[in-house]
Amino acid sequence: MAIYHLQPLLLLLASIFLSVDFEYCNKSGYDYGNITRVEIPQDPVSLDDEPTIKIFGAAYSKSIPCDSEVNLEVSTIVSNVSHFATDYNFCDSADECPIQPDTNFVLTLPNLPLIQVEGDRNGESHDKATTIMCIEFMLHILPSTSISA
């Protein structure tokens, strides 16, 4: 019986260690909702990795439309320089869509590119969709381990 009580505690501890600090790109938040947590299962990562991240949040009184984009901006701790990562369609990443008002949501963003040429965006739909949320977070990058002969 004691083991069943231990499982929620272990899940809570695991989520604490997986979460990373983040901030909104506009520094104040957005009308559609609130991001509560960003999780990266592997941190630090190597430049060859394309980690999957999870974003947890809560929708406000407006529903989140299905053509919305989520912009992610990643800063590496190695150079402390912000790099644009990619755009994601909100509803392609969400568990359910549209996201109803006053509900929680989880976004799963697979294969986040760590290196991307400036101005090169994932997909052509950015101009057509409305950007409703942008977050920025630090990733710890492992040093390159190239071996020269």
Architecture of domain 20-139: Sandwich (2.60)
Three-state secondary-structure class, residue 46: coil
Q: List the chain domain ranges.
A: 20-139
Whether this model's pTM surpasses 0.85: no
d(CA 21, CA 111): 19
* φ, ψ for residue 71, nearest 5 deg: -90, 135
Cα 62 to Cα 28, 51, 65, 69, distances in angstroms: 18, 30, 9, 16
Task: Check: CB of residue 47 under 8 Å from CB of residue 140.
Answer: no
**For the chain, which ranges sit under pLDDT 70?**
1-18, 72-85, 114-129, 143-149
Determine how β-strand 33-39 pairs with β-strand 53-59. antiparallel
pLDDT in tens, 25-50: 888 888 888 899 999 887 777 777 78
